[in-house]
Chains A and B, each alone.
Chain A
Amino acid sequence: DGGITQSPKYLFRKEGQNVTLSCEQNLNHDAMYWYRQDPGQGLRLIYYSQIVNDFQKGDIAEGYSVSREKKESFPLTVTSAQKNPTAFYLCASSDSWLAKNIQYFGAGTRLSVL
């Protein structure tokens, strides 16, 4: 099955801990994205990557980090500097940066703080 796989589905973070959310795609897409979703806030862009080995900050990058060492993988680390990490995190991809209007989303990871 082609698509985007996010794992884990649920994740709990302790105070001062860094956690990493996985995002893998087998669509052979160049561009990938991370969004944070809070009730009433819509989809807020954290980081995006137009192509492998490249990534850019989105609107709310503080307290987060990413890497894009492989085309199919775009992991997101929520660092201890992110003071309010509880949210639903969505990963997406598009065929290319120019095709960013058509994004394919994963099923999301729900992160909670213990």
Chain B
Amino acid sequence: QQQVKQSPQSLIVQKGGIPIINCAYENTAFDYFPWYQQFPGKGPALLIAIRPDVSEKKEGRFTISFNKSAKQFSLHIMDSQPGDSATYFCAGHLNSGNTPLVFGKGTRLSVIA
């Protein structure tokens, strides 16, 4: 299965809250999981990424938690701000040569003041 399943589709949190976006996969050949952030009317941009041999990665207020045995990973945004309102995509990179990057369907996050 070459899919990355992402949930929820949309999420609303209050400023200062910790939104959590979840992704799951089946294929153990995925070897790298980037997250992309897309602001309205713009193209996505790489936000943070993790390999499956690492359980957690932090960059500023963004943290990825990875559960290899459950084949699940999640993005947490600490102290969320209205400026974090965007669509977030998780993705999976397969280590087989000819398969393109596999994207989840995205989560639309709104942080309200």
Residues of A within 8 A of B (CB): 4, 6, 33, 40-43, 45, 48, 58, 90, 92, 100-108
Closest beta carbon of chain B to A2's beta carbon, Å = 14
Tally of contacts, chain A with chain B, CB under 8 A: 51
Given A40-B105, A101-B93, A102-B34, CB of A92 within 8 Å of CB of B100 = no
A107 touches B43 (CB 8 A): yes
The residue on B at minimum CB distance from A58 is: B100
Which chain A residues border B43 with CB–CB below 8 Å?
A: 4, 6, 90, 92, 105-108
B45 touches A105 (CB 8 A): yes
CA of A106 to CA of B91, assembled, Å: 18
Give the B interface residue count (CB, 8 A).
Answer: 21
Residue in B36, B44, B101 whose beta carbon sits within 8 Å of that of A100 in the complex: B101
Which chain B residues border A41 with CB–CB below 8 Å?
A: 105
B105 touches A42 (CB 8 A): yes
Given A41-B105, A42-B106, A48-B100, CB of A103 within 8 Å of CB of B46 = yes
A33 touches B45 (CB 8 A): no
CA of A42 to CA of B105, assembled, Å: 4
Interface positions of B from 63 to 83, Cβ below 8 Å from A: none
A107 touches B42 (CB 8 A): yes
- Other A-B pairs beyond A42-B106, A92-B43, 19, CB < 8 Å: A4-B43, A33-B100, A40-B105, A42-B89, A43-B44, A43-B89, A43-B103, A48-B100, A58-B100, A90-B44, A100-B93, A100-B100, A101-B32, A103-B46, A103-B101, A104-B46, A107-B42, A107-B43, A108-B43
